[in-house]
A and B are shown apart, each in its own frame.
Chain A
Amino acid sequence: MTGEYILRVEDIHKKFNDREILRGISFNVKKGATIVFIGPSGTGKSTLLRCINQLTEPDRGKVFLDDEEITGCGSRISGYRQRIGMVFQNFNLFDHLTAVENVEIAPIKVRKMKKEEAHAKAMEELHRVGMADWAHHYPAELSGGQAQRVSIARCLAMDPEVILFDEPTSALDPELTREVLEVMKDLARSGMTMLVVSHEMGFARSVATEIIFMEGGRIVEQGSPLEIMNNPKHPRTREFLGRIEHT
């Protein structure tokens, strides 16, 4: 049972002050799967992603990467984070570094790769996301879509086994959203395992292997895009989908 999943999340709970954000989240992720999390704002989707790579420490529950428990692993977490990439809503590119330096810094500092090798790898990843021509530009000189594509390249340069996308297109206008979604679709097709918090239903329909609808810190419903989008069982899922279709 366990070996077929690259990532297992078991009964994650998280409270901030007295507010319970996650109330027992469990799911499994198969290698190459694309899971899209949808649900109202403040429902704990981003916190859940941050609990997976331990940027936020869950109060209870376990996360396993390839059957190795990463919750409560102390300083070894840096090693696991190298295997779980993350893409942020606000890109979080390093402002003082050019695009290519942003991509090569982690391989150099964390994986101790030689500078030339890391540079070649960085250029390869920038090329993959269509940003090779912008390699020597600084983040402040890039559009939101370009910055997000660089941040995806930065993630890919570490050869992650799973990538967490935390609302990667929420800060972008529709035109820029499209260029980022194209890169993500290519990634999904290439077999990358992806967990995506997003309300891009077109993306979810065409790429997701599973959609998880969350509300109030719980998973309300999960299933294939066809099941969730065409035939949602739970009334809250129906209501939510109805609402976002009209926006």
Chain B
Amino acid sequence: MDPITFLTQILAPALWKGLIVTVALVVLTAPFGLLLGTGLALGRQYGGRALSTACSGYIVFFKGCPLLLLLFILYFGLPSLGLTLPAFTAAVIGFILCNAAYNSEYIQGAVASIKDGQMTAAQALGMTRAQAIKSIILPQAMRRAIPGLSNEFIYLIKYSSLAYMITVVELTGAAKIAATRYFMFNESFFAVGIVYLALVTLTTYAVGRLEQRVAIPGMGVKT
């Protein structure tokens, strides 16, 4: 088969399907990863000793556990304990657990960087600690965490390819199947590389726009 026919007739439709799965993995993971990461960061920063230790333990565990191993445990290991997850679900859960651990580090760093006076002033006005965290601390900290969180989001796009190892045919998996079947490795992986590059470039652009949009005038955030 000539390369042009392969790319247009075989690879492109396969990558399109794979892209949809990759985007679904990322879109389902990111919000929950952010939410859980925020909870872990706040638990560590403001929780009592027990909660703070539990959050730290979670983070150490999931940062230390190779993601592939985690996916294997969720997909291949849990059925022996009587819990069988569909491959896609196992992948999303694994990504959320891992993504949240890294997100929490960026968020906690950002929360810790907010001057104590902000919390003090909020409490002096009669806000409870929870109100102050929600209305004063997090809106500022999240702005500061955007660069770190966006890096993590880009990693997520790329490590979503590990889902293929537990049979989820996403972008890399689709390319691998087409490459193997038609013995067109260079064409397949070069093409899929371009798709990832496009996804990451798009994300970088979107994050830049977001940073500009939420920038606080006079605070020296580059515009």
Residues of A within 8 A of B (CB): 53, 55, 75, 78-79, 81-82, 85-86, 88, 90, 92-96, 105-106, 109-111, 137-141, 151, 154-155, 158
Contacts and interface: CB of A to CB of B under 8 A. Distances in A.
Contacts, number: 78
B125 A88 contact: no
Nearest to B143: A96
Contact of B117 (A75, A81, A88, A111): A88
B139 interface: yes
B117 A92 contact: yes
Contact of A55 (B124, B128, B218): B124
Contact of A158 (B118, B122, B126): B126
B189 to A, nearest CB: 44
Q: Chain B binding site: helix, strand, loop or mixed by DSSP?
A: helix
B125 A110 contact: yes
Given A94-B136, A95-B140, A88 B127 contact: no
Contacts of A111: 126
A55 B123 contact: yes
- Chain B: number of interface residues, binned into ranges: 20 to 34
B131 interface: yes
Interface of B: 115, 117-118, 120-128, 131, 135-136, 139-140, 143, 216-220
Contact of B125 (A96, A140, A154): A154
Given A92-B118, A105-B135, A86 B124 contact: yes
Contacts of A81: 123-126
B218 A82 contact: no
21 contacts: A55-B123, A78-B126, A79-B126, A88-B117, A88-B121, A90-B117, A92-B115, A92-B117, A94-B118, A94-B121, A94-B122, A95-B140, A96-B139, A105-B135, A106-B122, A106-B127, A110-B131, A111-B126, A138-B218, A141-B218, A158-B125
Contacts of A86: 121, 124
A53 to B, nearest CB: 6
A138 B143 CA distance: 15
A140 B217 contact: yes
B131 A138 contact: no
